[in-house]
Amino acid sequence: MEVWFQDGNVEAIRRPPIPDEFVAMAIPISTDEDGRGNQVGILLLSIEGTGSVRSALTGTYTIYLKTSRSSFITTMNVNGNGLIIGGGGGIGRACVLAFARYGAAAVVVADVNLDAAVQVCEDSRTHATHPHFKAEPHAVDVTSRSSVDDLTAYATRLLGRIDYCVNAAGLGAETQREVADADPDEFARLLQTNVTGAFLVMKSISAIMKTQDARLNDTNSPARGTTRGSIVVIGSASSFSSGPGLMQYTTSKFGVLGLAKNSALDNAQYGIRVNCICPSWVNTPMVKQAVDNMPGLGEKINSTVPLGRIATPEEVADAVIFMSSPLSSYVTGSGFIMDGGTTLTSHT
């Protein structure tokens, strides 16, 4: 099959004829010359039927694919349906846009701020590469069991199946005080949202995924086993190490990682993977608010990150996509640290 990318359009030319199930939406992720002046590329594949699909790239590429099953490699394939909680901003928003770019068929974007969720759905449609992509918003309060259960029931009715669930809802520290002066109310708020909220989401989505049919992680590599879904929760580098005056946040994020690990163990028998992405400082509104509220925090961040900068939300979203895709089919119960080297000198 030759796939030509020109002026933002993709036209699939079948030579020789290929069964419809092998006509793929192709997203080029790297290209090189083949020695004859052709640009030969590595593709992300989304098996979606025939016809033309759009490409976000411009320029001309010629991609050659063999038609045998053995020629297809496992890819960052997330062409199923996703539920992203806390998707109205920050890391959650970046995850929604990443799923759209990587070929997801549909996403439900849930947030306590419904207006923000509506806007992110609109934004995601301009990033989507799936020809029939849809995005729907929904309000949720993760501290309310009935609100969480209403959300997961809605997503199930709308999508039919939830292949990926990402929980990015959470609160950051409001104050920096040593334990003797810590605010019990703030401590309770962070545990309620970050830990109890994560528990309620995990409980509800696990119950739904258990009832879904098991599917091969990769139809071209049956040895990778089957899946009923993937769950990713956003933890923190503070899930592994402590920081002075941040007991409320550290305690809550240790709890999130413990929740993810035990949930991974309970869900493994059903083919449901659970992983925890643990970034340190990320350039989000929540971190900006913390810097504004805590004098000297900005300077501390810049001086303690070995790579010399904080992460972008898009970098965290890339890790979420990996943990949701068949490329991580043997990964469950992990706390994936991405902190620019910040915790390398901590004693954990």
Give catalytic residues, as residue numbers: 249, 253
- DSSP β-ladder status, 164-167 and 229-234: parallel
User: Minimal CA–CA distance to 55: which of 99, 8, 23, 3?
Assistant: 8
Return the percent helix, strand and coil in the chain, to nearest 5. 40, 25, 35
Give residue 142's Cα distance to chain centre: 18
Measure the CA–CA gap between 59 and 135, rounded to whole angstroms: 29
Tokens read off for 169:
């809802």
Phi, psi of 168 (to 5 degrees): -110, 10
Angle, helices 114-127/90-101, rounded to nearest 10 degrees: 30
Return the SS3 of 318: helix
Measure the CA–CA gap between 212 and 208, rounded to whole angstroms: 7
